[in-house]
Structure 1
Amino acid sequence: MKGIVYTGDKGAEVVDGLEVRDAGPGEVVVKVMAAGVCHSDITAASGAFGWPAPAVLGHEGAGIVDQVGTGVTNVEVGDHVIISTLAACGMCQACGAGKPTRCRKTLGNMAQPFTLDGEACWNFAAASVFTERTVIKAIQAVKIPKDVPFTSACLVGCGVMTGAGAVMYRTNVEVGQTAVVYGCGGVGLNAIQALRVRRASRIIAIDVDPQKEELAKQFGATDFLDGRADDIVEQVRTLEPYEEGELSGPFGAGGVDWVFDVVARPEVTFNALKMLDWGGNVVIIGTPGGDAKFELPYQDFTQNERGVIGVRAGSYSPHVHMPQIVELYRRGEFMLDELVTNTYPLEGFHDAVHDMESGGVARGVLTF
């Protein structure tokens, strides 16, 4: 079968000659129908994660259950499913508390369920959806209604849950509060629309690409600012000042209640803190390199109860929260179809990457 494989020095290539093993106990084989192209796959293909090669890429997918292993009870052959990357154990304290993103067993999950031309081939992110069939833990397969298009459903596996989950499942955004979303790619757009669902009164989108303004406002942004501006903090505070005619009050009072930092660069995170009102929080969604650091002054926390919150994968619980998002979509309250800017055959992977890096798409989707 065909697939997109990280080959090491050559990056990512479309190859033939892949095979996947049968489902073992507690596992399912999924026939992949659609897969979103995410920046994390491109980062892996660059070698930045140190992932071993060869490895089948892709972690944002949806498809049809093709085979079930012994002991599987949550899905059966023919079911339509979203594939979650959270290969949780289901038994630890974190899983028992409904917090599988904190399950230690969800880290790494390197295995070799594939062969390429007869040689062992690694998975990626416990998913490997850039191929025609993949094998996952049953706990990763989330059943969905058959009227949900695969091209839309696949995005729930990563971009949707990472952005929307940061708003809906990691924080307690209240009706009428104000927020900034720093970065308006696929993840940022989902943070924006989750803020709309939560009835935030002002949603300020920031991006360095002016093409993102139309998309950001389509998904619910009330304002759009150019992230390249030197006075970006002042622009935010002009929209949400301390009081009329005064941008900042004592210890920086004024600004927004929340900043969702999808970019996660030191200068962005620093600016994000400076945009906060008393009691506000920066929520770091982006994942920079392992040695990246930022510096913040103590008094910006201790005198006014500001905070910085980390979030992994939207802090979601697959079998609770993915169906919630899908149901909101089916009721017309959450936009999934609109996230799919273009679809591509597997052989069009490099076109999808080019379009993503040019900034012209919300999400490109591979179809099988």
Structure 2
Amino acid sequence: MTEVRGVVATGKGKPVEVTTIIVPDPGPGEAVVRVQACGVCHTDLHYREGGINDEFPFLLGHEAAGVVESVGAGVVDLVPGDFVVLNWRAVCGVCRACRRGRSQYCFDTHNAAQPMTLLDGTALSPALGIGAFAEKTLVHAGQCTKVDPAARPAVAGLLGCGVMAGIGAAVNTGGAGPGDSVAVIGCGGVGDGAIAGASFAGARRIIAVDKDPAKLAWAEEFGATHTVNAAEVDTVAAVRELTDGFGADLVIDAVGVPATYEQAFYARDLAGTVVLVGVPTPEMKLELPLLEVFGRGGALKSSWYGDCLPSRDFPMLVEMYLQGRLPLEKFVTEEISLDQVESAFTKMHDGEVLRSVVVF
């Protein structure tokens, strides 16, 4: 076992602490990864605020890249020295989704069996089964996706969650393609990922919607052809005006509250698609006229992790980045240390950054 520093949330709403944690040696099917970089994601803040569950203390961090340090018994496709992006969908291969060839929907994904702990033996709950705001972390070997080591860790690691969720929402779930009109509501890391995905998929018109002018400016860097300031104009009317009065072929809600979902529903064209990728909280309810749901046709979808298959999508997207076709580096606003995670949460909440990335 190894002692390392990690960022731990000890209770609901409490500031995080940088403390010593114990990382066990890898058991069967497990791997220890030396973390090189980890993005600060809204999901980590949700954990700290008790918005996911109450299984404190949490070892935060999950958007990570690093190098495999050691592997346990039975691991055959991973060796020390491999450069990997960590994922929270290590497919099982045997559940009903996997047996039908739909591994991207795996219903029984793997995590490490052993817990990482505090010095007193208290078991930690790793965020999304990863816990990568730490110098090293223990994961299931299937959570390690090998990618081209030419990619910078601070950039590649972002595919581990938010950026992949956005790209996948546009491409995998929404099926964006050449000539489509796409509107994205909410232009943080996930929303800008959706914009980037729609752009390289060949969408003709990409409409970014947000209340923050700075975020709308960021959206243009990822391929938005039009912007809508939702604080100044009606979102639905503006999207319709920009799509010849019809609405967009695909509308992606990257916020995940009832008001933005309703906007997405009415801002799409007849037979258009709505994709929900923003994460709602448990108490939220949605009310829509059922006749409108029926009469407008199309599809209402939810996108979980961008419906990605890490073994397929991560290497492909890293290759696109290395070819200059996917501007992943633009997501990185600042590089920080472990001790700056709490202040990074504040900056993220206030909309000052797109992504802060902890670099070791």
Given the two structures, how large is their TM-score scaled by the length of structure 1? 0.92
1:282 equivalent in structure 2: 274
**What CA deviation, in whole Å up to 9, does each residue of 1:158-193 have, x standing for no partner?**
012100011121232221010100000001111001
1:307 equivalent in structure 2: 299
Displacement of 1:359 in angstroms is 1.1
1:236 equivalent in structure 2: 239
**Which structure 1 residue ranges, 4+ long, deviate > 3 Å from structure 2?**
96-101, 109-112
Moved more, 71-80 or 29-38: 71-80
- Give the Cα–Cα distance (whole angstroms) in 2 for the partners of residues 263 and 9 of structure 1: 22
Q: Size of the alignment, in residue pairs? A: 356
Correspondences of 1:1-368 after superposition (within 5 Å): 1-9=4-12, 11-106=14-109, 113-122=115-124, 123-229=126-232, 231-242=234-245, 254-368=246-360
- Give the Cα–Cα distance (whole angstroms) in 1 for the partners of residues 265 and 10 of structure 2: 40
2:177, 2:198 within 8 Å by CA — same for their partners in 1? no
- Give the Cα–Cα distance (whole angstroms) in 1 for the partners of residues 41 and 280 of structure 2: 15
- State the secondary structure of the residue aligned to 1:174: coil
Displacement of 1:230 in angstroms is 5.2
Q: Which amino acid aligns with 1:113?
A: P
1:25, 1:70 within 8 Å by CA — same for their partners in 2? yes
- State the secondary structure of the residue aligned to 2:173: coil
Moved more, 54-63 or 165-174: 165-174
- State the secondary structure of the residue aligned to 1:277: strand
- Give the Cα–Cα distance (whole angstroms) in 2 for the partners of residues 149 and 219 of structure 1: 19
- State the secondary structure of the residue aligned to 1:89: coil
- Give the Cα–Cα distance (whole angstroms) in 2 for the partners of residues 30 and 297 of structure 1: 50
Displacement of 1:43 in angstroms is 0.9
**What CA deviation, in whole Å up to 9, does each residue of 1:46-80 have, x standing for no partner?**
11222312221111111000001111122100111
Percent identity between matched residues is 37
Shift of the 10–308 alpha-carbon distance from structure 1 to 2, 3 Å rule, reads closer
Displacement of 1:11 in angstroms is 2.5
- State the secondary structure of the residue aligned to 1:343: strand
RMSD: 1.7
What residue ranges of structure 2 are gaps of 5+ in the alignment? none
Displacement of 1:302 in angstroms is 2.4
Shift of the 9–260 alpha-carbon distance from structure 1 to 2, 3 Å rule, reads closer
- Give the Cα–Cα distance (whole angstroms) in 1 for the partners of residues 131 and 350 of structure 2: 25
2:112, 2:140 within 8 Å by CA — same for their partners in 1? no
2:37, 2:154 within 8 Å by CA — same for their partners in 1? yes
Shift of the 111–23 alpha-carbon distance from structure 1 to 2, 3 Å rule, reads closer
Shift of the 9–263 alpha-carbon distance from structure 1 to 2, 3 Å rule, reads closer
- Give the Cα–Cα distance (whole angstroms) in 2 for the partners of residues 268 and 69 of structure 1: 46
Moved more, 259-268 or 43-52: 43-52
- State the secondary structure of the residue aligned to 1:211: helix
Q: Which amino acid aligns with 1:260?
A: I
Moved more, 2-11 or 260-269: 2-11
- Give the Cα–Cα distance (whole angstroms) in 2 for the partners of residues 323 and 9 of structure 1: 36
- Give the Cα–Cα distance (whole angstroms) in 1 for the partners of residues 177 and 65 of structure 2: 32
Moved more, 312-321 or 226-235: 226-235
**What CA deviation, in whole Å up to 9, does each residue of 1:215-253 have, x standing for no partner?**
1001000111112245221111111133xxxxxxxxxxx
Q: Which amino acid aligns with 2:102?
A: K
- Give the Cα–Cα distance (whole angstroms) in 2 for the partners of residues 191 and 289 of structure 1: 21
Shift of the 130–99 alpha-carbon distance from structure 1 to 2, 3 Å rule, reads farther
1:82, 1:143 within 8 Å by CA — same for their partners in 2? yes
What residue ranges of structure 1 are gaps of 5+ in the alignment? 243-253
